[in-house]
Chains A and B, each alone.
Chain A
Amino acid sequence: MAKDKTNLNGIKRFISFGNIIIPLLLAFIIGSIFSILSRCNPFTLYGYIIKRAFFSVGGILNTLGYATPIIMTGIATAFSIKAGIFNMGIEGQVFVGAFASALAGYMIKGLPAFIHIPLCLLIGAVCGALYALVPGLLKAKLRINEVVTTVMMNSIATQVTGFLTQSYLGTGDAYAHTEFILESARLTKIISKYRCTTAIFIALVIWLIIYFVLKKTKFGYEIECIGRQWEFSDSVGMRVSRKVIIIFVLGGLIAGIAGATEIMGVNYNFVNTFSANPGIGWDGFYACILSASNPVGILIYSIVFGALRYGALAAQTWLGVPLDLINVIKSTLVLFSAIKLCSVYSEQIKSFFSRKKATKVAKQLQEE
C-alpha cells in the first residue's frame, strides 16, 4: 500500500515536472526555427548566451543588474495575479516612477546622499502607486475590466513621459532625455564597470517582505481567497473592493521603486527607451506567469530573464542576432505555459504507468 502511494507521488511529480519542461521545449524549438531563419545556429546562440551571462564575474554582475528590476516588477505582478486580477499596468507604473525619480534627482538640490536617495525612491514609489490607484479605483468601485484600463494607462504613461522629455523638460539635445541626476541621488555600483548596483539589495528586501506577507500574514491569505472566489470572500466579510485597491497600490509602489532604481542606478537620466524592448514591466509579467506567481519561482525566472536580456544584447552585438528573437522565445513560453498538457492528460499518464506496472506483475507471475 505504502509503495502504491509513493508511486502515485512519483507520477504527480512527473506531471508537474512535465508541465514545466514541455513548454520550455516547445518554446526553444520555435526559438530555434526563428534563429535558423536569421541565419544563426540555435545551439551556438544558446551556448553563447549562457557563456556570456554566467561564466564570468562581470557576466554574473550584469545578469544580476538586469534581473534587479525584473525581481521587483515580477513580485509586484504576483500580488495582483494571486488575487485573480490581471494587472498589466506595471510597465506604465514603472515609467511614471522612473520619470518622477529622474525629475527629483536633479530638481532637488543640496541634499546629502543618505537623504536624497531614499527621497527619490519614495517619490518614484508614490507616483507609481498614485498611477496604479486609477485602475484600482475603477476596478474596485465600478468593476471596469482591469486589462483594458491598465493597457490604456501604459500607452498614456509612455506617451506623456515621452512628450514631456521631448518638449518642456528636455535638454534640447539630439536625442530626447532629461537632465542627468545629481551625484547625491545615484546608487553606487558594486563594481564600477558592471550593471549591478546596490538596488539588488533593495529588490531582495522587497522580495523578502512580500514573500513573508504572501505566505505568513492574514493579508496574504485574504489575497489568495479573493483569487479563488471573490464572491465568497466578499460575503464572508473580507472587504474585497478595499483589498483590490490596496493590491493595485502596492503593485504600483513596487513598480515605481523598480523604475526609480533603474534610473538612479543605471541610466542617470530619463530616456523614453530606458525600459528596453519588451520592457521590464513585461519581463516581470512573464516571470510571474511562468512561475504561477510563486515568489521563489519569480526569483529564479527573474535571474534567467536577466541572463537572457544581457545575453541577447551581447548576441546582438557579437553574433548579429536580433533582440526580438529572445522575445519570441519568452512569449511562446508564456503561451505554452498556459496549458498544463501533463495535467490535462494526467489520467492517460496514470493509466499508462499502471499498465506498465500491471504487465510487469504479469511477467513476474509468468516467470514464477
Chain B
Amino acid sequence: MDLFLSLLNMTVEASVPYLLITIGGVFVARAGVFNISMEGCTEFAAFAGILFTFVTGKIWVGVISSILLALFINFVFYIFTVKLNGNLSVVGTGINLMAACVPASLLSALFFTRSNLIATSIINPANMMYDVPILRSIPVLNDIFNRQTLITYITPFIVFGLIVVMYKTKFGIYVRVTGENPSAAQAVGIKTNRIKMYCLLISAFTCALAGLNLSVEKLGMYTINMSANRGFICLSAINCGRKEPGKACIYALIFGFVRALQTIINNFVPVAISSLLGIMPYVAIIVVLLIVEIPNARKNHLRCFRDLA
C-alpha cells in the first residue's frame, strides 16, 4: 500500500513537466506549426534557471531569465519558420542540437566542468516543497499530493485554464481555425501569423515552467541532457491525443506514470539492470503509439481514386 501511494506521489511529481510541455505544445500543434524544438526549449530553460540563479544568487532572477530565454527561443523559431519560411523540422532540429551543446560549452567555459552545475548552496530543494495545511489532515491525499513543489500545484490550473482558453474563448477559435484552414482564417481577417506567434509564446512559457520544475525546483542543479527527450515524448502525447488538449494530457499522465514506475522499480533491482530500465519510457511511447494508431491503419491506405468512388 505504501509502495502504491509513493508510486502515485511520484506520478504526480513526474508528470508535471510532461503535462506542461504537452498543453503548450497542443496550442502550437493546433495552430498548424509542427514544432519539435520543445525539447531544446525545455533544456535551455532548465539551464538558464540554474545558471542565473547561481550567478546572481537570487532564485527569482533565474526564474525570470529562464522564462525570457524560452520566449526568445520560440520567438526565433517563429521568425525563422513563419516569417522567413525556413523548414520547420530543420529549424527545430537546429534548436535541439544547440540545446545539446551550448550548455555544455558554456559550463566548460565558465565553470570548467562539462557535466553539471550545482546551485544547492542557493536553492535548497527541501525548502521548495510546500506543506499544504488542508491536505495534511486528509490521510490518503496527504501522501499523494502534499509536499510537492509550487509549479506542481500551479500545473492543474494552467492545464484547465488553457483547455478553457482553447474551447471557450475567441482566441481558441482563432487558433483552431488557423490550424485547420489557414486561407479561410485569413479571408475572415484573422492574422494567422500573429496567432501562431502567440501559440509559440504560450508553448515557450509552459516549456520554461517545465524546465524550471526539472532543474530549479526538484534538484537545485543542472545536469547535461536534463530534459531527457521529454519534448519528443510530449510530441507523441500530442499526436496520440489527436491534438486535443484533454486527451493529450491524459497521455502525458500515462507517460509520467511510466517514468514514476521506472524510478520505483529502480530501487529494487541491481545497479546493472537499472541502466536498462532507462529505456522504459521510450518503449512505452512506441507501444502506446502502436496501440493508438492500429485501429486507424485501414484509413491510411488511401488511394485517391478509391476515395472519389
Contact = CB atoms under 8 A, between A and B. Distances in A.
Contact of B94 (A86, A231, A332): A332
Given A156-B282, A338-B91, A339-B80, A141 B101 contact: no
A274 interface: no
A151 B236 CA distance: 11
Nearest to A316: B108
Contacts of A54: none
Interface of B: 36, 80, 84-87, 89-91, 93-95, 97-98, 100-102, 104-106, 108-110, 114, 229, 232-233, 235-236, 239, 272-273, 275-276, 278-279, 282-283, 285-286, 289-290, 293-294, 296-297, 300-305
Contact of B279 (A159, A322, A331): A159
A162 interface: yes
A339 B85 contact: yes
A38 B275 contact: no
Contacts of A147: 36, 89, 232, 235
B278 A159 contact: yes
A138 to B, nearest CB: 7
Contacts of B229: 151-152, 155
Those 10 A-B pairs whose CB atoms lie nearest each other, nearest first: A335-B94, A324-B105, A327-B101, A331-B97, A235-B304, A38-B109, A338-B86, A338-B90, A322-B108, A142-B293
A156 B283 contact: yes
B276 A163 contact: yes
Interface in A275-289: 277-278, 282, 285-286, 289
Nearest to A330: B97
Interface of A: 34, 37-39, 86, 88, 134, 138, 141-145, 147-149, 151-153, 155-156, 159-160, 162-163, 166-167, 231, 234-235, 241, 277-278, 282, 285-286, 289, 322, 324-325, 327-328, 330-332, 334-341, 344
A138 B290 CA distance: 8
Contacts of A39: 109
A324 B87 contact: no
B235 A328 contact: no
A60 B135 CA distance: 68
A153 B232 CA distance: 12
A142 B104 CA distance: 37
A334 B93 contact: yes
Nearest to A341: B84
Given A167-B272, A289-B93, A332-B94, A148 B302 contact: no
Contacts of A234: 302-304
A278 B84 contact: no
30 contacts: A34-B102, A142-B290, A144-B293, A145-B236, A147-B235, A152-B229, A152-B233, A152-B283, A156-B279, A159-B275, A160-B276, A163-B272, A163-B276, A234-B304, A241-B301, A278-B97, A278-B101, A282-B97, A286-B97, A289-B90, A289-B93, A322-B114, A324-B101, A324-B104, A327-B104, A332-B94, A334-B94, A335-B91, A340-B86, A344-B84
Nearest to A289: B90
B50 to A, nearest CB: 17
B101 A143 contact: no
Contact of A328 (B84, B101, B236, B302): B101
Nearest to A134: B286
A36 to B, nearest CB: 9
Contacts of A160: 276, 279
Nearest to A333: B94
A341 B86 CA distance: 9
Given A152-B236, A160-B279, 19 more contacts: A38-B105, A142-B290, A148-B285, A156-B282, A159-B275, A159-B279, A163-B275, A234-B303, A235-B303, A322-B109, A327-B97, A327-B101, A327-B104, A330-B97, A331-B100, A334-B93, A335-B97, A338-B80, A339-B85
Contacts of B114: 322, 324
Contacts of A153: 282, 286
